[in-house]
Chains A and B, each alone.
Chain A
Amino acid sequence: MEAVQQLRFNDAATLMAAEPTPSHRLAEAVLKLNHQPRTRAQVEAAQATLEYLANDAHTEPEVRPWALYYLARILHWHLDQTPREATLAAYQRLIDHHPAHPAAQLAQSRRLLLLLFAPATATEARARLKHHGKETPLLTERDARYAYHVVFAEAYQRFAPEDPELAEHTRRALAITPLAPAQRADLLLRLAESARRRGDEATARVTYLEFLRSYPRQIRRPLVQKRLAELSP
């Protein structure tokens, strides 16, 4: 584990290769994605291992969804110039086959990211926010729920900042713990700013005050104090 913490992935992969179980093969493939020097051949070797694990009947049920997840991740970030449709299909394959698995739940937010931020006109972007907002994916895992709400909140902020759904998704993301302080600070301000824009001064005030209480040294405090002073008394 120390090797992984220190990003010595080559050493960790060698250790994993000594064990023949599917879990170790999965770990070896994931480590191989960052084998140094990083080459396309290494990534393709990892891809081949993951494809084998995803299709082999003897693979443990717990390993197969993660193999599918990393196959999608390879298309998304590890290979350059992958068509968006191919990445979407890889995430969808996981979601279709193992909808309740934590890996599939994580895949939901990445699929949404690809869909909501695809090139489009402003009108199209707003329309697809509404369209995909009607879907009801199965989300029981905290990381997956957080990611789902944050992706929607970010997309609403960019494409439809006046929509009340922005505050709703932000509020839901804020309720999830643990939350990195930097993320929580941003979520609080996004909620307050969204409420202020919509004229919901009560929510804006409470949230700005919560920010000031939580972050006594934050560099944005004077801006928040200015916003508070501008709210009606």
Chain B
Amino acid sequence: MKLAWPHTPASLIGLTLIAAFYGVTTFHLSRQAYQARAEDVVVIRFAHWNLEEGVREVYDEIAAAYMALHPHVHVEQLAIPHRVYPAWLRTQLIGGTAPDLIALGGQGITDELMARYFQPLTTDVEAPNPYNRGTPLEAVSWRDTFVDGLTSHHIFNERLQEVYSIGLGVPTFRGYYNLDLFREIMGHEQLPRTFRELLDLCERTAAWSRQQGRAVLPIAASVHHALPLLHALAAVRTQRLLIDQPGRGVLILGDEDLLIEMMAGRLSWRDPPMVDALAAMQAAGRWFPPGFLQTQREDMAFQFVQGRAVMMTTGSFDLRSLRSQAPFQLAVGPIPLPDTNDPEFSRGVLGPLPEIAVGSGRFALTRNSRHPSAALDFLRYLSSVNSNSRFAARSEWIPAVVGAQVPATVKAFQPNPDGFPAPLNLFAGLGPFPDVFRTMLNRHSDLLFSRTAPLEAYLEAVDRDFPPALRNDLERITRHRRANLRRLDTLIGILELDSPAWADRSTILRQSQLNQEIAQAWLEYNQ
């Protein structure tokens, strides 16, 4: 077999740049390792892709403060460009050269990779964080020092039953408005507070645009900007499922639970909660520009700052750049979602969604770390209430630790901690169910977001394409789970053979293993 190499000049330049990047990185890492040996100090390396202003600087400041406390430890920061981060990460993990701590989030880390290359932190988070001494969190378990108690789906892997990362920020999403344009179209400055008012803004913008002969979008939506809004709409309208659908009887309906319910015929896309979710997505999505799922984040942000859209939904992390680029008055408000009083979209809604999911600056400890205790200690320092306040002040992120100061500049993004959770997470991104996601969103987006086709046309397409997608994804889950169960057999077996001192650790691992075996048995029962 002969490999077909790309041969255009652009691709050759790209390959050369990537090769150069890897070469420089490898040289840099090797040099650090050599220096560490030479100076006999413990070197902790952490990698991330957050190159935004303030983030790298504050990481350096915190690392310097930590090194002052621990002179025998040297902490190195590796800031890797976002575009190459996923490929870089995989190469480092598979090559066994990964840094001690790695930032995670959206790099396609499957359960299999997670279990294989990262150290669970589940038992470590139960003890208090010593770097919170002298603060109100002094006696609180490390777990409960985070606003989400480390229970949100980014942090606690429901399928592997382990906590794998510790986060520093809570990304919250808001509506960003071009207030000049908004005032011109609406005649006032009162931002939409309800979903109905948002739809009204969209309708009036479209009418105004036609009347003025000026191409202005009601909502600037790329795949990056649209998914958080679509996910929130689907989630809020399926909240009642958590209390109405018995499931596992623990007030949770994870993605896998939901899909098993659908596979067994106890729930379908034609049942009210699911149709309601789709109807809300359709109502908003109809106002998105055509082809939004193929549009890149930067392109749509450019349109917004050029004054060609009234609104854009994105996270707190975009505030700095939008504030500096927008030549108009920028306003920020909550994303208007259906509430319990909505005349058309209230069914299934329990209340606002919670905004406490820690998801930014999530660091996981690699299994090949040469100094896992020191790396974990640095992670504790990094996520202490004082460090997190310092981090938030410089980065303008919403802090993840209870009691850490929210910077005044991002008060509009302060999370609402009291909302009701929701089960329908299938529109949030590829996650562990890529085939289902593609089928439900990408493949038939033209039908779902059509301004003329009824929802029935979309449901007919789903009736046809959803079952095989569901089977594929559940088979993938089965493969990953079986691999993890096998690994746990060996890990637990050797822990127990080695010494009775490991008894408590193996007990906790056995409980996790049993849960996964039961989940698999239930999946197979329903197939």
Q: Is B420 an interface residue (CB 8 A)?
A: yes
Q: A34-B490, A151-B518, A157-B248 are in contact. Are A179 and B511 (CB under 8 A)?
A: yes
9-residue interface stretch from A88-96, A131-139, A198-206, A220-228: A220-228
Minimum CB–CB distance from A27 to chain B (whole Å) comes to 5
Q: Is B122 an interface residue (CB 8 A)?
A: yes
Instruction: Name the contact of B507 in the complex, choosing from A143, A157, A224 (C-beta under 8 A).
Output: A143
Minimum CB–CB distance from B138 to chain A (whole Å) comes to 15
Q: Are the C-beta atoms of A216 and B144 separated by less than 8 Å?
A: yes
Q: Are the C-beta atoms of A7 and B491 separated by less than 8 Å?
A: yes
User: Which one of A34, A151, A179 has the greatest number of beta carbons of chain B within 10 Å?
Assistant: A34
Q: Is A68 an interface residue (CB 8 A)?
A: no
Instruction: Name the contact of A151 in the complex, choosing from B150, B249, B514 (C-beta under 8 A).
Output: B514
Which residues on B sit within 8 Å (CB–CB) of A216?
A: 144, 149
Q: Is B354 an interface residue (CB 8 A)?
A: yes
Q: Is A189 an interface residue (CB 8 A)?
A: yes
Residue ID in chain A nearest B158 by CB atoms: A182
In the assembled complex, 21 residue pairs joining A and B whose CB atoms fall closer than 8 Å, in A order, are A6-B367, A6-B368, A9-B490, A27-B494, A27-B497, A34-B487, A77-B486, A106-B510, A117-B518, A142-B507, A180-B122, A180-B511, A181-B143, A182-B122, A183-B515, A186-B248, A190-B249, A193-B251, A217-B151, A223-B251, A227-B243
Q: Is B348 an interface residue (CB 8 A)?
A: no
Q: In the bound complex, how far is the Cα of B498 from the Cα of A38, in angstroms? A: 23
Q: Is A78 an interface residue (CB 8 A)?
A: yes
Q: A180-B512, A183-B511 are in contact. Are A215 and B243 (CB under 8 A)?
A: no
With A4-B498, A217-B150 known, 5 other A-B pairs at CB within 8 A are A7-B116, A190-B248, A194-B249, A217-B402, A220-B421
Residue ID in chain B nearest A190 by CB atoms: B249
* Chain B positions 509 through 522: 1 when the CB is less than 8 Å from some CB of chain A, otherwise 0: 01110110110011
Q: In the bound complex, how far is the Cα of B161 from the Cα of A227, in angstroms? A: 25
Q: Is B504 an interface residue (CB 8 A)?
A: yes
Residue ID in chain B nearest A7 by CB atoms: B367
Q: In the bound complex, how far is the Cα of B524 from the Cα of A38, in angstroms? A: 24
Which residues on B sit within 8 Å (CB–CB) of A223?
A: 242-243, 251, 420-421
* Chain A positions 1 through 14: 1 when the CB is less than 8 Å from some CB of chain B, otherwise 0: 10011110100100
Q: Are the C-beta atoms of A190 and B521 separated by less than 8 Å?
A: no
Q: Is B220 an interface residue (CB 8 A)?
A: no
Q: CB within 8 Å of B: which residues of A?
A: 1, 4-7, 9, 12, 23, 26-27, 30-31, 33-34, 38, 66, 70, 73, 77-78, 106, 109-110, 113-114, 117-119, 142-143, 146-147, 150-151, 154, 157-158, 161, 166, 178-183, 185-186, 189-190, 193-194, 215-220, 222-224, 226-227
Instruction: Name the contact of B490 in the complex, choosing from A33, A113, A157, A193 (C-beta under 8 A).
Output: A33
Instruction: Name the contact of B525 in the complex, choosing from A34, A117, A215 (C-beta under 8 A).
Output: A117
Q: In the bound complex, how far is the Cα of B119 from the Cα of A161, in angstroms? A: 36
Q: Are the C-beta atoms of B251 and A220 separated by less than 8 Å?
A: yes
Q: In the bound complex, how far is the Cα of B485 from the Cα of A122, in angstroms? A: 28
Which residues on A sit within 8 Å (CB–CB) of B248?
A: 154, 157, 186, 190
Q: Are the C-beta atoms of B249 and A161 separated by less than 8 Å?
A: yes
Which residues on A sit within 8 Å (CB–CB) of B123?
A: 180
Minimum CB–CB distance from A60 to chain B (whole Å) comes to 12
Minimum CB–CB distance from B524 to chain A (whole Å) comes to 7
User: Which one of B123, B152, B419, B508 has the greatest number of beta carbons of chain A within 10 Å?
Assistant: B508
Minimum CB–CB distance from A84 to chain B (whole Å) comes to 10
Residue ID in chain B nearest A33 by CB atoms: B490
Which residues on B sit within 8 Å (CB–CB) of A23?
A: 497
Q: A30-B494, A142-B507, A181-B143 are in contact. Are A224 and B251 (CB under 8 A)?
A: yes
Please name the 7 residue pairs, one residue from A and one from B, whose CB atoms are nearest each other, closest first.
Answer: A217-B149, A117-B521, A30-B493, A189-B250, A186-B250, A34-B490, A157-B249
Name B248-264 residues within 8 Å CB distance of A. 248-252
Q: Is B342 an interface residue (CB 8 A)?
A: no
Instruction: Name the contact of A219 in the complex, choosing from B119, B351, B354, B512 (C-beta under 8 A).
Output: B354
Q: CB within 8 Å of A: which residues of B?
A: 116, 119, 122-123, 126, 143-144, 146-152, 156, 161, 242-243, 246, 248-252, 350-351, 354, 356-357, 367-368, 402, 418-421, 482, 485-487, 489-491, 493-495, 497-498, 504, 506-508, 510-512, 514-515, 517-518, 521-522, 524-525
Instruction: Name the contact of A70 in the complex, choosing from B149, B252, B493 (C-beta under 8 A).
Output: B493
Minimum CB–CB distance from B346 to chain A (whole Å) comes to 16
Q: A217-B148, A219-B151 are in contact. Are A33 and B486 (CB under 8 A)?
A: yes
User: Which one of B156, B242, B350, B525 has the greatest number of beta carbons of chain A within 10 Å?
Assistant: B525
Which residues on A sit within 8 Å (CB–CB) of B351?
A: 222
Residue ID in chain B nearest A3 by CB atoms: B494
Minimum CB–CB distance from B98 to chain A (whole Å) comes to 12
Residue ID in chain A nearest B421 by CB atoms: A219
Q: Are the C-beta atoms of A12 and B489 separated by less than 8 Å?
A: no
Q: In the bound complex, how far is the Cα of B315 from the Cα of A86, in angstroms? A: 54
Q: Are the C-beta atoms of B249 and A189 separated by less than 8 Å?
A: yes
Q: In the bound complex, how far is the Cα of B482 from the Cα of A149, in angstroms? A: 23
Minimum CB–CB distance from A131 to chain B (whole Å) comes to 17
Q: Are the C-beta atoms of A109 and B514 separated by less than 8 Å?
A: yes
Which residues on A sit within 8 Å (CB–CB) of B515?
A: 150, 183
Minimum CB–CB distance from B369 to chain A (whole Å) comes to 8
Q: Are the C-beta atoms of A113 and B489 separated by less than 8 Å?
A: no
Q: In the bound complex, how far is the Cα of B161 from the Cα of A218, in angstroms? A: 15
Q: A6-B367, A27-B494, A157-B249 are in contact. Are A222 and B482 (CB under 8 A)?
A: no
Which residues on A sit within 8 Å (CB–CB) of B493?
A: 27, 30, 66, 70
Q: Are the C-beta atoms of A77 and B250 separated by less than 8 Å?
A: no
Which residues on B sit within 8 Å (CB–CB) of A6?
A: 367-368
Minimum CB–CB distance from B400 to chain A (whole Å) comes to 11
Q: Are the C-beta atoms of A113 and B517 separated by less than 8 Å?
A: yes
Q: In the bound complex, how far is the Cα of B146 from the Cα of A201, in angstroms? A: 32
Residue ID in chain B nearest A114 by CB atoms: B521
Q: In the bound complex, how far is the Cα of B160 from the Cα of A223, in angstroms? A: 24
Which residues on A sit within 8 Å (CB–CB) of B161?
A: 180, 182-183
Q: Are the C-beta atoms of B149 and A215 separated by less than 8 Å?
A: yes
Which residues on A sit within 8 Å (CB–CB) of B504?
A: 178
Minimum CB–CB distance from B355 to chain A (whole Å) comes to 11
Which residues on B sit within 8 Å (CB–CB) of A30?
A: 489-490, 493-494, 497
Q: Are the C-beta atoms of A113 and B495 separated by less than 8 Å?
A: no
